[in-house]
Each structure stands twice: as C-alpha cells, then as structure tokens.
Amino acid sequence: MAGWIRANMSLSNASQRLTRLEKGLGVSLFYRRRHGLEPTAAGLAVSGGAHRILQQLDQMVIAARRAPIPLGDVHENCGRAGRPRIPQAGPVT
C-alpha cells in the first residue's frame, strides 16, 4: 500500500510535504521515475534515522507506562508555578 494512503493524506498533499522536506534538508530524497519513486542515498539515510527515532519513541512510551505511579502529592518536589526546584550551587572556590 502506498505511503500516502497509510498516512491518510492525498497524493498531492504527500507530494507537497515531501518537496518541502527536501527543500528544508537541501537534498533530494527520491529519484522521480516514470513508475514511481526510488530512494536516493540521502533518502535511505533519512528513512533509517526516522525508523530509529520511531523505535526510540515506542521504547519511551513502554518505559513510561511501566514506571511506578508516584505516591503522595505529585507536586511536592515543585516550587511555585509547578517548576522543579533545582538546588543552587555555591560559589566556586
């Protein structure tokens, strides 16, 4: 199945987004062929990087769901406005 269909977008929208990405990166990610697209070396590099990022995000979600639920007031370690308190370092001697 075509990627633009899996991403639930029109072919025109997918093409525009790909063109903007290529312009932003300053490289062509695909060779435009008569019968479709073929990834360039840069396209393969971006694809591999994207897959690694998505795997890391999946692992992050799993780790967050397995983390213990805090007991007591969730905000007990926060200062005003809900910001974490960071100890101040003394003067360097």
Decide if domain 3-67 falls under CATH 3.30.565.10.
no
Tell me the pTM.
Answer: 0.56
Rounded Cα–Cα distance for residues 88 and 57 (Å): 32
Express each pLDDT in 14-28 by its tens digit. 888 889 999 999 999
Q: What confidence tens digit (pLDDT) does each residue in 4-17 have? A: 555 667 778 888 88
CA 39/CA 5 separation, integer angstroms:
18
